[in-house]
Structure 1
Amino acid sequence: MDQRISFVTLAVNDLERSREFYLDGLGWTAELFVPGDVLMIRAGEHLVLSLWDETAFEAEVGTIRRGEGVVPITLAHNVASEDEVDAVLDLARAAGADPVETARQREWGGYTGYFADPDGFRWEIATNPGDIGQLVLP
């Protein structure tokens, strides 16, 4: 098996709300949109973010675990500078992200902040020091 990820699929409660957030709010572009079913967005050269209506998701994958607290996954969007981190967090805030955690220096050397999409999925916006940080930049 090749060492890669092709799709990241997230089950969402309200697909139209997610479409508005990602496309209208963040300015991303859909590769495929089937109303009431799925929204697919190219998120890298060979990576697709798939936002799937949770009813359709459960029908194929199985029952979703529900409860209080943060969804146990984060998605990261890395940029080259601290100013870019702040700018992306401002964009997310303007798009309606809630909550948005202001970026700060982390003990491991990076500068990161977080926002939540309409379903509570946390996006980390970061600039990372060293080679690993350069590896993920376009």
Structure 2
Amino acid sequence: MDQRISFVTLAVRDLDASRAFYLDGLGWAAELDVPGEVLMIRVGELVVLSLWAERGFEAEVGPIRRGPGLAPMTLAHNVATREEVDAVLALARAAGADPVSEPEEREWGGYTGYFADPDGFRWEVAQNPGPIGSSVLP
């Protein structure tokens, strides 16, 4: 098996709200858009973010665990500068994102902040000055 991820699939409660947030708010473009079912957005050369309506997700994958707390995962968008971190967080908040945390200097040397999309999935916006951080920049 090749060491790679092709799709990141998230089950969303309201696909229309997710579409408005990602396409209209963040200015991203749909690769595939099937209203009421799925929205797919190319987020890397070989990576697609797939947002499925919950019902279709559960039909294929199985029941979704519901309840208090957060999904035990984050998505990350790395940028080259601290100013870009601030700008991306401002854009997300203008698009209606929940401003989870203000950006701050991290103990490991980076600068990051978080926002939540309409379903509460946490996005980290990060400037990571280390080699691994630089390796994921376009």
The answer to whether the superposition gives a TM-score over 0.5 is yes
Identity %: 77
Quick one: distance in 2 between partners of 1:51 and 1:130?
31
In structure 1, distance between residues paired with 2:76 and 2:130: 16
CA distance in structure 1 between the partners assigned to 2:92 and 2:99 by the alignment? 10
In angstroms, what is the RMSD of aligned CA positions?
0.6
Unaligned runs of 5+ in 1: none
Letter in structure 2 aligned against 1:115: F
**What is the distance in 2 between the residues matched to 1:114 and 1:70?**
13
1:91 alignment counterpart = 91
Residue 93 of structure 1 contacts residue 100 of structure 1 at CA under 8 Å; is this kept in 2? no
Q: Return the alpha-carbon distance in structure 1 between the equivalents of residues 101 and 92 of structure 2.
A: 11
- Distance in 1 (CA, whole Å) between partners of 2:100 and 2:68 is 18
Aligned to 2:32: 32
Distance 1:104 1:78 in 2: 14
CA distance in structure 1 between the aligned counterparts of 2:73 and 2:126, rounded to whole angstroms: 16
Where do 1:3-82 residues align within 5 Å?
3-82=3-82
- Moved beyond 6 Å, runs of 4+: none
2:2 corresponding residue in structure 1: 2
Instruction: Number of aligned residue pairs: give it.
Output: 138
Query: Alpha-carbon deviation of 1:72?
Result: 1.1
* Partner amino acid, structure 1, of 2:93: R
Separation (CA, whole Å) in 1 of partners of 2:53 and 2:35: 9
Q: TM-score, normalised by structure 2?
A: 0.98
C-alpha displacement at 1:88, in angstroms? 0.2
Aligned-partner Cα distance in 1 for 2:107–2:28: 31
2:80 aligned partner, one-letter code: A
Displacement after TM superposition at 1:99 (Å) = 3.1
> Structure 2: how far apart are the matches of 1:37 and 1:23?
16
Any idea what SS the aligned residue of 1:55 has? Answer: helix
Per-residue Cα deviation, 1:56-90 (whole angstroms, up to 9, x for no partner)? 00000000011111221100000000000000000
